[in-house]
């Protein structure tokens, strides 16, 4: 059973690419998710749920920005709802019976909270997770850039040595011709 865990943001769009397949992109994770379903009905149900979570994420972002403006703190870059879609190879390959549908659950702020006091904690937790993920991404990018810089520096040294050798050879040949 495969589980896709993706944070849905208001700017994401689920696209039906064929009768039983669809996809969406997560630009922050630099990932395109593609899903196959056993029937067009299951694909449509997933697309509807995706739209619901997208709308919930948009509302949560607006609510978050309103609260941030009231407290005079920087606004959150993006708020989203997590969806998890357990897919079995049977449902992807179309052999699952027609009654089974991919489960879609929401694990983030757009869920209704029982009390107003619980909302700031959930909101804080969501922001914390967002910044932890952002920090991990930045650390990974920093490591890649550092490695690329070291490789480039080594290449520059090698090119300087080659240039010096070519200049010496050109000077030697010039003296030989003269």
- Same-domain status, 36 and 77: yes
- In Å, the largest CA–CA distance within the chain is 93
Number of independent structural domains in the chain: 2
- Same-domain status, 19 and 74: yes
- Same-domain status, 82 and 124: no
- Same-domain status, 160 and 128: yes
What confidence score (pLDDT) does residue 5 get?
A: 76
What confidence score (pLDDT) does residue 12 get?
A: 86
* Burial of 101 from C-beta contacts in 10 A (0-12 / 13-18 / 19+): middle
The pTM is what? 0.40
What confidence score (pLDDT) does residue 2 get?
A: 66
Domain termination site, one of 85, 112, 139: 112
CB 113 within 8 A of CB 119: yes
Domain span at residue 79 reads 2-112
What confidence score (pLDDT) does residue 164 get?
A: 95
Mean pLDDT, 10 residues at a time, the chain of 178 residues: 77 88 84 87 91 89 79 47 45 41 41 43 71 87 86 90 95 92
- Same-domain status, 104 and 177: no
87: domain CATH number is 2.30.29
- Same-domain status, 40 and 59: yes
- Same-domain status, 77 and 131: no
């Amino acid at each position: 059973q495969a589980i896709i865990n993706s944070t849905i943001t208001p700017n994401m769009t689920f696209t039906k690419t064929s009768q039983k397949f669809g996809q969406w992109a997560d630009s922050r994770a630099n990932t395109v998710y593609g899903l196959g379903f056993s029937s067009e009905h299951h694909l449509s149900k997933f697309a509807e749920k995706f739209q619901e979570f997208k709308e919930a994420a948009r509302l949560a972002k607006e609510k978050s920005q309103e609260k941030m403006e009231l407290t005079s703190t920087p606004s959150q870059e993006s708020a989203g709802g997590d969806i998890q879609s357990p897919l079995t190879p049977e449902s992807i390959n179309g052999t699952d019976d027609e009654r089974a549908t991919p489960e879609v659950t929401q694990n983030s702020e757009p869920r209704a909270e029982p009390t107003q006091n619980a909302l700031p904690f959930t909101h804080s937790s969501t922001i914390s997770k967002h910044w932890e993920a952002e920090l991990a991404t930045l650390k990974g990018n920093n490591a890649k850039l550092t490695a690329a810089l070291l490789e480039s520096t080594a290449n520059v040294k090698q090119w300087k040595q080659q240039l010096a050798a070519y200049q010496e050879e050109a000077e030697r040949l010039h003296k030989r011709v003269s």
